[in-house]
Structure 1
Amino acid sequence: MKITLGNPASAPQPLSPYYSQVARVEQADGSALLFLSGQIAEGDTLAEQSRGVFETIDALLTAHGATLADVINIRTYLTDIGRLAEYGAVRREFLTGTPPTSMTFEVPRLFREEAQIEVEVVAAVPAPK
């Protein structure tokens, strides 16, 4: 098993130098698991921030040969759980197949005060054919 931590140059860079955005765990058969750090995004509304988050997640996955269809687990942190439906509408724009396992939490505050949402995912990348 090989573990690689890093920040793909082709994706938006992290907000802090103290973490890696992606941990890639290579499996013996050539498949891999990708663990993405929580992502936040700029925007005035929850919908704008949610879109930005999923665009960043998509870029990070793409840099590792994966797609949003490879997401097997998603954890969402909202500062207002009452707006879950608004987030859910955006999420369905990006995750269009069978939904991954999921957890959603309400939190009092995130990494940046203006952030309304943070999302972290795990993806399973198939072995090359």
Structure 2
Amino acid sequence: MQISVDNPPSAPQPLSPYYSQVARVEHADGSALLFLSGQIAEGATVAEQTRGIFETIAALLKAHGATLTDVINIRTCLTDIGTLDEYGTVRRQFLAGTPPTSMTFEVPRLFRPQARVEVEVVAAVSPRPRPAV
């Protein structure tokens, strides 16, 4: 097993120098687990922020050969649990099909004062095809 951390240049960069965007746990067969840091986004509403968050998550996953269909776990922090339906409506647009395991909870505040939602995911990446000999 090999572990690496990354801030892919093709995705939005971290808002602080104190964390990395992605931790990749690579297994011998080429499969991997991707642990993404919590993501926040600009926007006036929870829906706008959620859309920006999932666009960032998609870019981070793409940089590691994954897509939103590879997400197996999602954790969400909302500053107002009353906005859960607004968040969920946008989330379903990005995570179609069988939903991943999930945990959602209310927090008094987030990393940035204007942030109303933060999302963290884990994704499972299938083994990479071996090159033909």
The TM-score bracket by the shorter chain reads over 0.9
List alignment gaps of at least 5 residues for structure 2: none
1:104 and 2:107 correspond: no
Instruction: Look up the match of 2:19.
Output: 19
Residue in structure 1 matched with residue 76 of structure 2 by the alignment: 76
3-state SS of paired residue (1:13): coil
- Once the two structures are TM-superposed, the CA of residue 128 in structure 1 deviates from its matched residue by 1.7
Match of 2:30 in 1: 30
**Match of 1:22, as an amino acid?**
V
Please provide the CA RMSD for this pair: 0.5
- Structure 1 residues not aligned, in runs of 5+: none
Find the counterpart in structure 2 of residue 115 from structure 1: 115
CA deviation map 1:10-34 (0-9, x unaligned):
0000000110000000011110000
**2:85 alignment counterpart:** 85
**Displacement of 1:90:** 0.1
**One-letter code of the match for 2:26?**
E
TM score, norm. by length of structure 2: 0.96
Write the letter of the residue equivalent to 1:123. A
Counterparts of 1:31 and 1:91 in 2: how far apart (Å)?
A: 26
TM-score, normalised via structure 1 length: 0.99
Instruction: Tell me, in whole angstroms, the C-alpha distance in 1 between the residues paired with 2:73 and 2:32.
Output: 14
Identity %: 79
Q: Which runs of 4+ in 1 moved over 3 A?
A: none
SS at match of 1:44: coil
SS at match of 2:47: helix
Q: Within 1, Cα distance between the matches of 2:47 and 2:76?
A: 14
> Can you list the C-alpha shifts for 1:57-92, whole angstroms capped at 9, x where unaligned?
000000000000000000000000011000000000
Q: Which amino acid aligns with 1:62?
A: K
Q: Given residue 68 of structure 1, which amino acid in structure 2 is its aligned partner?
A: L
- Which has more radius of gyration? 2
